[in-house]
Structure 1
Amino acid sequence: MKNLLQIVSTATDLGAAALVLLRRGLMDPHRPVQALRASRWMRQYGAFAGLIRHSAARYGSAPALTDEHGTLTFAELERQSNALAHGLSAHGVGPGAVIGVLARNHRGLLLTLFAAGHTGARVVLLNTGFAAPQLADVCRRERVTTVIADEEFTDLLDVLEPRVLRVLGWSERDCGRLSLTAIAAGQPTDPLPAPETVGAIVLLTSGTTGTPKGAPRNRVSPLQSAQLIDRIPWPAHASYYVAAPMFHATGLATCTMGLALGSRVILARRFDPVAALVAIERHRVQALIVVPTMLTRILDLGPDVLARYDTSSLRVVFAAGSALSPELCRRTADAFGDVLYNLYGSTEVAVAAVATPEDLRAAPGTVGRPPLGCTMAAYDERRRRITEPGRTGTLFVSSGLSFQGYTDGGQKESVDGLLSTGDTGHFDESGLWFVDGRDDDMIVSGGENVFPLEVENLLAEHPDVLEAAVVGVGDAEFGQRLRAFVVRSSETLESDDVRAFVRSQLARHKVPRDVVFIDQLPRNETGKVLKKVLQEECS
């Protein structure tokens, strides 16, 4: 009976997903053969190679990608990726091979993903913020056989084993190294035969607490697209500016979403807030994809600078990767209107919840509600499900796309078929969810549970605070206490001012005993604050 219920539930979700895809334009009800063909290609070649074959057949000569080397149409993207696939195959890349990609946002990264699907190789997306030891550890653990890296990272490759094939992914000049361009030169532009086994993609965790872990994505399901678009009106035949790094799920998923909808994707290797505004105006960008720190940098330009650029085309500002403070939600709405969408998820569980502009107006800082096919629940320390609003517990999620385990054999904690996100949170009486902080960030001070994120969000509202991070440190009297690291906009702001501001709005045990002023917070490439670095500064 249990298996029957699971089959019925899965079938129901897939049916609902199909309706979402039809509503958003990812499937054309008048061309069922087209949908069947796309499904076949994705089964044969994987999600990315199947996507470009389908998009090229559907959109042809429409502009697909614009980067610093110019613009490519959908048909040109497919032909170039086919040529690259033939070239990689000639270099021994096929089923069983593992390609590590160390690249910023540009065509080389996408071409590699498309080509790898045709060869059957696995792709590991490497963090561009890696130091040499991390790169060596990850490539060794994931058994990488080929690394495709931008020229700026070539010095890091010295730590790799000699057997690893090194390929240049992006260069400003001809530097005599083996490159993607050279590998594809003169090769056929027709697709390779489908590989015997479909290659997977491996996303890496953020690694804020240690060496990043590998989370493979082997499955292709309509639910993946449906969950991303269920509560977000992604525009079709438009322009997307993908600023979020594509080695992470946020940038990669939204980039492929844009291509699937026949939109032009605009990429820049390095984020610059003014350049982003220029691109929005020039290309009439309707969807802007960022991590919260990028959105903050745009807004920090101030109203006078923002007013110089026409951003009226924006319909979706999509932010994910780290928490959105209530103040950032309000600032975005004031600057651009009701266009902000916030996705909460993780590398392991994929999508967990989405907040719409209406949600964020009603409750700034909320992560919204689970979309189609997703379940989110909070559990107490004895792993009993919490059913009353406002009570904090550990968050567990099932999305139907949750990973099946890390590449090293490890797994996340699971309860009732749901995986832990590692965060704590709660829901309110209207069913909106809120993240209270990382499970391992919570401290106990004088017998009281304290979540640093609550204090951080409050400090973000102080007019003289640019950003802040709060961590727990040992205390002989109370067990632990809070220490706040603050980036201030005015030198007149003193430690006592910070403590008084918190004391005026929060309980006494939530007031930071220590306040440290710093020039900037340490962050990784996706904008997450490296609290481990701050903790080390405390010791």
Structure 2
Amino acid sequence: MGPTTLLKDAVHKAGVLGRSVVVLRRSGLVGRPDEGIRSLLAIRKYGPFAGVIDMGAREHGGSVALADELGELTYDQLNKRANALARALATRGVRSGTVIAALCRDHRGLVTAMAASGKLGAKLLMMNTGFAKPQLADVTRREGVKALIYDEEFTDLLDAVDPHVDRYLAWVDQDSTLSDRSIPVLEELIASTDDQPVDTPDQPGGFILLTSGTTGTPKGAPRERTSPLASAQFLDRIPLRKGGVTYMAAPIFHGTGLSQALLSWALGCKVVLTRKFDPEDTLRRVAEHRCTALVVVPTMLQRIIDLDPGVLAKYDTSSLRIIFAAGSAIPSDVVTRTMDVFGDVLYNLYGSTEVAVASVATPQELRAHPSTAGKAPVGCRIELYDEQGNSVTEPGRIGRIFVGSGLSFQGYTDGRNKELINGLLSSGDVGYFDEQGLLFVVGRDDDMIVSGGENVFPLEVENLLAERADVLEAAVVGVDDEEFGQRLKACVVPAEGAKTDAEEIKNYVKANLARYKVPREVVFLDVLPRNATGKLLRNELSGA
């Protein structure tokens, strides 16, 4: 790297730093210099999550940090709970570098365990609550888990887990049928242990997130490094502000939920949690707590706006300034209908477990272009490359999406990594930029269907079908075909009471898209198969 390139790189980094500080000050995350220094020290000491909770206790001690089904906890109470649990786990052998797994829904037990693990310098593996026994056992073994914290409802899944893994109950049901009373319960450990601050661990704590796992066993993606400045990537295009109220509908084990919960606590917000998602109950709680932000995955959003208009009108959700959606593509009609119901408050983040943040679409951009993924925020960079690694710059030309972000992971726990080009990480998706620089994601690189020599990305056909009033949702997959190599198969979930005809569906696509994009087969299903975070399980549809 020559002197000129080094100088340009230094100037670019200085510019990003300056813009990031402006964004953080605007949001209220950074105020006086001494506050910023204390935040940096807390994060360096305990890691990002425990550091934020520790700082929250200092700055917002008496303010409500968390509201769940058991009531409210202040920042001071939450931090003391984390201290007590950290001490209790330490006496049972958990120390810096120990891998703890959490198989929990969203509640105070999970949040306390997240903070306690950081105070010990442990690595917390966030398990997917949609796991089956084989996945749970495989991931536990592969990641070297020494302790498992879980909710009682998942007890039956633990049969296949190594019996030498220590077990702790984070949530006990009111009508508990638990027979093994020897398993420690977090609430009892917390109540019986000193809650004074713990010693600084040998290394700060961190998280291991899991990829979506739509095929096979999901891979582990560590999150062990961060900087408060990286928060600007979310706050640049999403107006989260200090002292708001965030309703966390998306599960915290997922990157979407974790990032927004962490950011909300860093801003001194109250975070509302529930263990299971219900669309009407979400509206009820938004109204009750006067929530300013609602965090969802797209399937949750669709279930909310599919409620009867009378139900939607029943609750006062005028306090909402932000509906934050991420995790998978949002159908264009869902984008439009959401803003018609709630106003122009929808923000759609495009990213992945590996690359973290790539781009954000604002309400203004979504009004004009409902299918856009928006633009890269401060600190992020997106470039497109073809199969040979050549840069793709022409508007409208499809290329593979590569992302640069200070939050990107450094490789899977098994040693593998995503493809890198010029320091940018592959997202695994393909897309294009329009004339205004807006990003449009066409689909997964490996979702592409080659039919009769023509390349088809399912998302375009799916969005078209989802716009029909008689279609609730749709998925398009490739099926082996002797003549064409692959043929398109559309799996359609009809709207309630609709009498949709397969030939009419085909004719509709033929009238709006190229002939080679017309499904040769249309099947009707009651529901599309999805994992716990709403991602479509396409591999289950080929034989549907």
The answer on 1:181 being equivalent to 2:187 is yes
* Letter paired with 2:96: P
Match of 1:514 in 2: 521
**Whole-angstrom distance in 2 between the partners of 1:148 and 1:4:** 49
- Specify the alignment match of 2:65 in structure 1: 64
Task: Give the corresponding residue for 2:397.
Answer: 391
Quick one: which of 6, 21, 26 aligns to 2:24?
Answer: 21
d(CA) in 2 for partners of 1:302, 1:385: 48
Deviations 1:414-473 (A, max 9, x none): 111111111110010000001101101111111211111100000101111111110011
SS at match of 1:504: helix
* 8 Å Cα contact 2:333/2:466 also seen in 1: yes
**Alignment partner, residue 97 of structure 2:** 96
Aligned AA (1:99): I
Aligned to 2:274: 268
Distance 1:22 1:40 in 2: 19
Residue 227 of structure 1 corresponds to 233
Alignment partner of 1:342 is 2:343: no
Partner of residue 534, structure 1: 541
Residue 469, structure 1, aligned to residue 475, structure 2: yes
Percent of aligned pairs with the same residue?
56
Distance 1:147 1:521 in 2: 31
Whichever residue aligns with residue 39 of structure 1, its letter is L
Could you tell me whether the CA contact under 8 Å between 2:28 and 2:241 is conserved in 1? no
Partners of 2:226 and 2:406 within 8 A in 1? no
**Alpha-carbon contact 1:487-1:521 (below 8 Å) kept:** yes
Q: How does 1:34-433 map to 2 (within 5 A)?
A: 34-173=35-174, 175=178, 176=181, 177-433=183-439
Which residue identity does 1:384 align to in structure 2?
N
Aligned residue for 2:425, secondary structure, equals: strand
The DSSP-based 3-state class of the residue aligned with 1:434 is: strand
Distance 2:276 2:111 in 1: 16
Q: What is the CA distance between 1:382 and its match in structure 2?
A: 1.4
Deviations 1:157-177 (A, max 9, x none): 121112100100111246433
Aligned residue runs from structure 1 range 459-498, under 5 A: 459-489=465-495, 490-498=497-505
Task: For residues 287-325 of structure 1, give each alpha carbon's deviation from its aligned partner in whole angstroms, at most 9, with x where no partner exists.
Answer: 000001101001000322111111111100000000011
> Aligned partners of 1:61, 1:184: CA distance in 2, in Å?
20
Give the unaligned 5+ runs of structure 2.
Answer: none
Q: CA deviation at 1:492?
A: 1.8
Say whether the 8 Å CA contact 1:230–1:371 is kept in structure 2.
yes
1:137-166 deviations in whole A, cap 9, x for unaligned?
A: 111111000000000011111211121001
Check conservation: 2:215, 2:539, Cα contact below 8 A. Answer: yes
State the one-letter code of the partner of 1:83.
A
Q: How far did 1:32 drift? A: 2.0
C-alpha contact (below 8 Å) 1:17/1:222 kept by paired residues: no
Q: Is structure 2 residue 510 aligned with structure 1 residue 503?
A: yes
What SS class does the counterpart of residue 375 from structure 1 fall into? strand
Amino acid at match of 2:529: P
How far apart in 2 are the matches of 1:444 and 1:34?
Answer: 56
For 1:521, give the aligned amino acid.
L
Give, in angstroms, the shift of residue 14 of structure 1. Answer: 2.8
Residues 55-97 of structure 1: CA distance to partner in whole angstroms, max 9, x if unpaired? Answer: 1111111111000111001111111111111111111111121
CA deviation string 1:248-281 (max 9, x = no partner): 1101111111111111100010000110011111
State the 1:501 CA deviation: 1.3
CA distance in 2, matches of 1:507, 1:496: 16
Contact 2:230/2:379 (CA < 8 Å) preserved in 1? no
- By how many angstroms is 1:5 displaced? 4.8
8 Å contact kept, 2:385–2:402: yes
SS of corresponding position for 2:314:
coil
SS in 1 for 2:253: coil
SS at match of 1:487: strand
CA distance in 2, matches of 1:222, 1:324: 29
In the other structure, the counterpart of 2:442 is: 436
Q: CA deviation at 1:238?
A: 1.9
Which amino acid letter does the alignment assign opposite residue 312 of structure 1?
Answer: S
Q: Hey, what's the Cα distance between the residues in 1 that align with 2:205 and 2:310? A: 49
Corresponding residue SS for 2:247: strand
Are the aligned partners of 1:18 and 1:222 in contact in 2 as well (CA < 8 Å)? no
- Within 1, Cα distance between the matches of 2:330 and 2:499? 27
Query: TM-score w.r.t. structure 1 length?
Result: 0.97
List runs of 5+ in structure 1 lacking aligned partners: none
| Cα drift, residue 6 of structure 1 | 4.2
Task: Say if 1:354 and 1:371, in contact at 8 Å, map to a contact too.
Answer: yes
Instruction: Kindly provide the CA deviation profile for residues 101-149 of structure 1, in whole angstroms up to 9, marking residues without a partner as x.
Output: 0011111111111101111111100000000100111111110000000
- 1:440 is paired with a residue whose SS is helix
**Which amino acid in 1 is paired with 2:268?**
G
1:9 Cα deviation after fit: 3.6
1:515 partner letter: V
Aligned residues: 535
Task: Using the TM superposition, give the Cα deviation of residue 4 of structure 1 relative to its aligned residue in structure 2, in angstroms.
Answer: 5.7
Task: Name the TM-score, length of structure 2 as normaliser.
Answer: 0.96
Distance, in Å, in 2 between the alignment partners of 1:3 and 1:522 is 49
